[in-house]
Structure 1
Amino acid sequence: MGILEVEGLKRSFGGVTAVDGLSMSVEEESITGLIGPNGSGKSTTFNLISGTLESDGGTVVFDGEEITDEKPYTIARRGLGRTFQQARVFDEMTVYENLLVVQTDDDKDARANELLGLIEMHDERNSFAQDLSGGQQVLLGIARTLMLDPDLLLLDEPFAGVNPGLVADIRQLLVTLVEEEGKTVLIIDHEMDELSKICDEIVVLVDGKKLLKGDPEAVREDEDVQRSYLGGLQ
């Protein structure tokens, strides 16, 4: 049994079905990619798993306990953290303050300093978040989520619009989190090349359903996946 088990998950908006009986699992201490054409249900799936949307059916089980339709803050406290397509940082706070504001524990200063080292942003600790590059804001957003020490990270397009140098930094950070801190990562992204470099498995969604799950090479070579991307993944 994986750390995350989704079974028969459904969600419609009016007459449009966004997620249609989706079943998938994520193994502990792995990196799993979630890809699909625009409108395939990727972000809706994240919203259902993290509690920002209520489902129309199905179940979500995290670390052996059902969390279907629980409140987002309850799910976060259980150890499931997420980021969003747009980095949600406090623009007028410093990098360091952005980390401290999400944590109330006595050791939050030590954890914040540890994470600044992990994302290699000690030099920017007193910079305002609004002055960071897009890639640096992504790193800060991931670090903020890590302040709560989640077991599972859901990352929504962490490579989108990020310069190649920082893409490599984000990629290395994710590998480090899995290999050295025992985290599990589920990523939505359109960058098949980047996902292929770090993912153990990739799940392909089409029309809210799982088309295929497999290792990156198998997914890239699958003819149905090629057709779903209007010309194929290059």
Structure 2
Amino acid sequence: MSDILLQVSGITKRFGGLTVVDGVSFDVRSGEVVSIIGPNGSGKTSTLNIVSGVLSADSGEVRLAGERISGRKPHQIARHGLTRTFQNGRVIGNLTVRENVLVGLDGLRKRESRLREIPGVRWASLLAETAGALVEGPKRGKEAAEDDALVTRQLERFGERLLPRRDQYAYTLSYANRRRTEIARALVADPQLLVLDEPTAGMNQTETTEVLDQLLALKERGQTILLVEHKLDLVMKLSDRIIVLDDGKIIAEGRPEEISRDPKVIEAYLGTSFAKEHNA
């Protein structure tokens, strides 16, 4: 049990009479890539939101590195070592790429925030996560140099896609580069667990392949990842284990090759053509 980083135990979430997550339990081990798949409305994003503190579960608990994080706010969970990206994209358009990535350093240092003074910032949930993360004005030279090195390290991961654009405003970026900026922001604090909600949504095949290669490189260096993604080829190539949700419940869990052959998963989500292609 010592290698289990994330423990999710019996989490349930209801909205009125609708149960969106129904007694879900799973573990993620250190260095493992675990993907959650399933039909639209199956509870995937709600599960991630409970794990990361965006939603509170009605019952059950979540532990990270043995410590209960259920009931904590997202920025507190981030400081404990869990960072994430979002399905609908959350870059701050009138900050530069560099400044957007710096927001992710809230998990390392506490700073007085001036984000509320920036025109156009309207996302209360993002502000709650990043409060105290960004300071305009004098900083000690050593800290500034350390921050810049951390940002550069993450931008270099994406090569020419982001590094030459570090001082450009995020609103000028392509959609794919905004998603890359979000991943860089989630990684800059060197999290224990990286949670990704459809990181390649809206990307074309070339862009998706590039992100897959970058995620494989993260996996190679031992980064623990919890992923929700609809692009099944990416999921099958990247994942150590796959959890399948349907109607808020886990209907299958196993290695990619096991999931691709599971009759319940084929019926509920994969379809026979995908199964035949990957089990030929």
Q: What TM-score range do you get, normalising by the shorter chain?
A: over 0.9
How many Å separate the matches in 1 of 2:232 and 2:271? 14
> For 1:100-151, what per-residue CA distance to the aligned partner results, in whole angstroms no more than 9, with x for missing partners?
2443652111100111101212112222212222221111101011122211
Structure 2 residue aligned with 1:24, among 26, 31, 48? Answer: 26
1:84 is paired with a residue whose SS is coil
TM value normalised by structure 2: 0.80
1:85–1:41 CA distance, 2 compared to 1 (3 A): same
User: After the TM superposition, which segments of 4 or more aligned residues of structure 1 sit over 3 Å from their partners?
Assistant: 230-233
How many Å separate the matches in 2 of 1:191 and 1:149? 26
Partner of 1:172: 213
Structure 1 residue aligned with 2:173, among 124, 132, 138? Answer: 132
Q: Residues 17-166 of structure 1: matches in 2 within 5 Å?
A: 17-103=19-105, 106=143, 107-120=146-159, 121-166=162-207
Partner of 2:264: 224
> For 1:33-52, what per-residue CA distance to the aligned partner results, in whole angstroms no more than 9, with x for missing partners?
10011111111101110111
How many Å separate the matches in 1 of 2:211 and 2:203? 10
Structure 2 spans left out of the alignment, 5+ residues: 110-142, 275-280
* Aligned amino acid, residue 170 of structure 2: A
Partner of 2:122: none
| % identical aligned pairs | 42
1:24 is paired with a residue whose SS is strand
Query: Highest CA radius of gyration, 1 or 2?
Result: 2
> For 1:7-66, what per-residue CA distance to the aligned partner results, in whole angstroms no more than 9, with x for missing partners?
111110000001111111112111111001111111110111011111111111111111
Q: Indicate the larger mover: 125-134 or 139-148.
A: 125-134
* Aligned amino acid, residue 9 of structure 1: I
Q: Indicate the larger mover: 92-101 or 72-81.
A: 92-101
TM-superposed deviation, 1:231? 3.6
2:152 is paired with a residue whose SS is helix
* Aligned amino acid, residue 64 of structure 1: G
1:126–1:62 CA distance, 2 compared to 1 (3 A): same
* Aligned amino acid, residue 145 of structure 1: A
TM-superposed deviation, 1:232? 4.2
Alignment RMSD (CA, Å): 1.5
1:102–1:231 CA distance, 2 compared to 1 (3 A): closer
Q: Residues 10-21 of structure 1: matches in 2 within 5 Å?
A: 10-21=12-23
2:149 is paired with a residue whose SS is helix
TM value normalised by structure 1: 0.94
Structure 1 spans left out of the alignment, 5+ residues: none
How many Å separate the matches in 2 of 1:73 and 1:23? 23
